[in-house]
Structure 1
C-alpha cells in the first residue's frame, strides 16, 4: 500500500470538519502610502514593502524583484509586519489571475506589505502550512471564480474571505499532508535553483563567446536590414491560419528561436502585410523595461510570418541562431543602452541598431557556436520540462489529499 493510499484511508476514517475562514483565520490588510512616500533606498530607515509582483504566479513563491521602500514616516502596525508562518496573499490587482495568489513566509523578516496585499494568520487548530496548500489548490480557485464578481474582481475583501469554507482534518493529519506535499515543493525548488544556475552559466558563456570571438567587426546594418512590421492587434488573432508574431507574446512565450507561432491571422488580413521569411529575426523594439527591449527570435519555420508594428524584421545572410544569440549577449545589451528612448514605454530604433557592431566569423564557425549554445539551451529546456512535470505531480497529489467530504461544524 502506497503512502498516499494509507494517508487517504486515514483521512476518510478520521474526524474531518468543514471550517469557515472567519472562524479559524485572521485577515490583515497591508499598508497604504502615497507616491511621494516612496524612497530609493532602505538603508536610512526606509521600510521594505512587498507587493503583488513579489509573489510568483504558478509556483506560489516569494521573489524579491523590485522591492519597494517607503519612508519611516509611513504608519506600519505590528500586525502589518511579516512573521514566520504568515501566508501573504494578493488581495487586489488589475489582473484576475493575480488575485488570490499566495506565498508562505518561512521565517520572520523585516518587511511589510502593500495595501493591495493581505496576510492570513491561522488559529491553533489550523496549521498555516496546511492552509497554504489549501489556498494553492483548485478548491480556493473555484471559490474565487464564484465569489469575485465584476464589481469585486480587484478586491479580495475580508467579507469574501470570511465565507470561504474548506476541509479541516485533525492536526496530526494536517501535518502528514504537509509533509507529503512539501516533498514535492522542495524537489521543485531544487530544480528551480538548478535552472537559475544553468541559465546564468549560459548567459556567461554567450558573453564570453561574443567578447572573445576572433573575427572582423562589422555592423548589423552592413550584414542585414531592419524592416518595421505592419499593424497587428490581439483582436486580429484567429485560431488557425497565417502565422503571426506580436511583441507582447515574445517576452513570455518564445525563446531565442522557434519553428511555430502561438498566434494566427486570416488570409485576408495577411494580404499586403509585411512578413518575416524563414531565417529572419523578429526583434521586439517596444518594452516596459530595458532588459527585454531588443529581444530577438529567429524564425526557423517554413512559412512567412506576419509581424506587428512594435517590432522589426531583421533580414540577413548569417546563421539565424548565431544572430539571435548575439542579440542575447552583453555585447548587444551594452550597445543599446545609449539609444533607448521613452519613459514608461521604452523604444529603440532600426537606425540605432543598424550601427551596432557584431563580429562575424566564417559560416562554419557560426554553426559551431550555435551547436555549443544549443546544447546549453537543450539542458535548460529539459530542466524546465521537469519542473512542469513535478508541478503537475504536486497539483495532482494536493487535490487528491484535499478531496474528502467533511461534516459541517
Structure 2
C-alpha cells in the first residue's frame, strides 16, 4: 500500500476539470501586453511576471497592480510553456501568462493545485509549428483530483518541507558564491610593495589554437575543447573533455594542443564580460584547442592563473583591448599586457588551496552544494509524484 493509499484510507477521489463550464474548479484569465518602455515609464514597487523562469518570472516592477491575493499563474507561450507558479500579493502578468483563480477555497487548496499542475500542465503543451503553447482552452480541460481538504493540506505540508529545504540550500549557495567572489578579489589584491607585478608576456607565452568546426567533433578520439564549451562546461581546471576530434584531422589541419600545466583562455564571445576566462589543463594528455582560444604557459601555478582570470582586476585590464562587434574578441597582444601579481610559489599554492575549497563547495556536481541541491530536488520530485499518483477515473460531464 502506497503512502497516498494510507492518506486516503479508502476515501474516493472526485475528479473535475480545471475550468470547464460544467465542472471547473477555477476561473482562467490572461495578462496584458507590457513593453519594456511601459515598464521603464511606470517603474514602481509591484512585480510584473512574464514567461521567463529566471528570477521567479519577474521582469520588472510598476506603480500599479492588476491582481491582489492568492493565485496560480502559468506560461502560455514559448520554451517555458506549461510552467506554473504559486503567487501571493499584489502583482501583474504579461500577455504570455495565464491566471488561475480558484472558485471555492473550501474545495481545493491553492498549493495542492499548484503541485498537481506542476506535474500535469506540461503534458498538455502543444508544440506544433515550432512554438510551444498552452492556451486557456487547453488548460481548462486538465483533469483535477479533489481529495478531502485535510488530505490536500497534508500533501502540501510534506511537499513544502522539501521545497523549503531546497530553498535554504539555494540561499546558502548564493551566499557562498558571494563569499567566494569576495575572497577571490581580496586574495589577489596585493600592495605593489608586497610582491612583484609582471605582464603575462614577461613571464609566459601564448599559443593560439587552430580552426575546426562543430561538425568535426566526435564522441571519442583526441581530447578537444571548442571555445563555446568554455562558457557552458569548463571551470577553473579540467583533466578530461566532453568533445574529441579524429587523429587524422589533427594531422591534416595541424591542430594545436595545450599541454599539462597550460591555461586555456577563451578569446571570443558574445559579450565583453565573457572573454578571458581561463581553465587550467591538468591531464598528462594534451588537448586540442579552438582558434578562439589561447593556451598560456608560464612558471606560475596554472590554477593561480586560472583563478586570476576570474577577478575584476583582470577583466578591468583586458576590457580596453577587446574589439567589439557581433562577436567580441581579444588577441594575444592584448592579453599579454595584463599585469599579474607574482608571489612566491608557496603563496600561490596557499591562494589556490583556499579558492579550491570555495570552488568545490559552489560548483562541484559530485560533492558541493550543487550536488546536494540536485539530490534534494530529485527527492522532492520523487515524493511529489508518489503523493500525487491518483488513479485517474473517467470524467463524466
**Cα distance change of structure 1 residues 307 and 101 upon mapping to structure 2, 3 Å threshold:** farther
1:226 partnered with 2:206 = yes
**Cα distance change of structure 1 residues 20 and 334 upon mapping to structure 2, 3 Å threshold:** same
Deviations 1:50-93 (A, max 9, x none): 3334x24xxxx7166xx3468x8xxx9x6xx3544333333223
Residue 375 of structure 2 aligns with which residue? 389
1:112 partnered with 2:97 = no
Is contact 1:238–1:264 with CA below 8 Å preserved after alignment? yes
Separation in 1, partners of 2:324, 2:26: 46
Larger-Rg structure:
2
Map 1:195-234 to 2 at 5 A: 195-212=173-190, 214-234=194-214
Separation in 1, partners of 2:331, 2:60: 31
Residue 402 of structure 1 aligns with which residue? 388
Residue 237 of structure 2 aligns with which residue? 257
Residue 248 of structure 1 aligns with which residue? 228
Residue 362 of structure 1 aligns with which residue? 344
Is contact 1:12–1:404 with CA below 8 Å preserved after alignment? no
Residue 62 of structure 1 aligns with which residue? 56
Q: Please report how far the alpha carbon of residue 49 of structure 1 lies from its aligned counterpart in structure 2 after TM superposition.
A: 3.5
Following TM superposition, the consecutive aligned residue runs of length 4 or more in structure 1 with deviations greater than 6 angstroms are none
SS in 2 for 1:408: coil
Aligned counterpart for 1:168 among listed residues 139, 142, 146: 146
**Cα distance change of structure 1 residues 344 and 158 upon mapping to structure 2, 3 Å threshold:** farther
Q: Please report how far the alpha carbon of residue 211 of structure 1 lies from its aligned counterpart in structure 2 after TM superposition.
A: 0.7
1:101 partnered with 2:83 = yes
Separation in 2, partners of 1:219, 1:117: 52
Is contact 2:4–2:386 with CA below 8 Å preserved after alignment? no
Is contact 1:247–1:311 with CA below 8 Å preserved after alignment? yes
Q: CA RMSD in A?
A: 3.0
Is contact 1:30–1:114 with CA below 8 Å preserved after alignment? yes
Q: Please report how far the alpha carbon of residue 155 of structure 1 lies from its aligned counterpart in structure 2 after TM superposition.
A: 2.7
Is contact 2:32–2:95 with CA below 8 Å preserved after alignment? yes
Farther off after superposition, 393-402 or 219-228: 219-228
TM-score by length of 2: 0.84
SS in 2 for 1:85: strand
Map 1:278-317 to 2 at 5 A: 278-317=260-299
Residue 85 of structure 1 aligns with which residue? 70
Residue 304 of structure 2 aligns with which residue? 322
Higher relative contact order (CA 8 A, sep 6+): 1
Aligned counterpart for 1:14 among listed residues 11, 15, 36: 11
Separation in 1, partners of 2:266, 2:138: 41
Structure 2: gaps (5+ residues): none
TM-score by length of 1: 0.82
SS in 1 for 2:205: strand
Deviations 1:81-115 (A, max 9, x none): 3544333333223xx4x33233322x314x43333
Q: Please report how far the alpha carbon of residue 364 of structure 1 lies from its aligned counterpart in structure 2 after TM superposition.
A: 2.5
1:134 partnered with 2:116 = yes
Farther off after superposition, 247-256 or 207-216: 247-256
Separation in 1, partners of 2:322, 2:29: 42
**Cα distance change of structure 1 residues 337 and 383 upon mapping to structure 2, 3 Å threshold:** same
Structure 1: gaps (5+ residues): none
Residue 50 of structure 1 aligns with which residue? 49
Separation in 2, partners of 1:50, 1:196: 22
Separation in 2, partners of 1:131, 1:316: 59
SS in 2 for 1:52: coil
Is contact 1:15–1:170 with CA below 8 Å preserved after alignment? no
Is contact 2:272–2:324 with CA below 8 Å preserved after alignment? no
Deviations 1:361-393 (A, max 9, x none): 122221121112112223333222111111111
1:158 partnered with 2:136 = yes
1:122 partnered with 2:121 = no
Is contact 1:247–1:284 with CA below 8 Å preserved after alignment? yes
Q: Please report how far the alpha carbon of residue 16 of structure 1 lies from its aligned counterpart in structure 2 after TM superposition.
A: 1.7
Separation in 2, partners of 1:369, 1:249: 26
Separation in 1, partners of 2:143, 2:215: 39
Q: Please report how far the alpha carbon of residue 237 of structure 1 lies from its aligned counterpart in structure 2 after TM superposition.
A: 3.1
Separation in 1, partners of 2:27, 2:145: 17
Q: How many residues align?
A: 381
Q: Please report how far the alpha carbon of residue 183 of structure 1 lies from its aligned counterpart in structure 2 after TM superposition.
A: 0.2
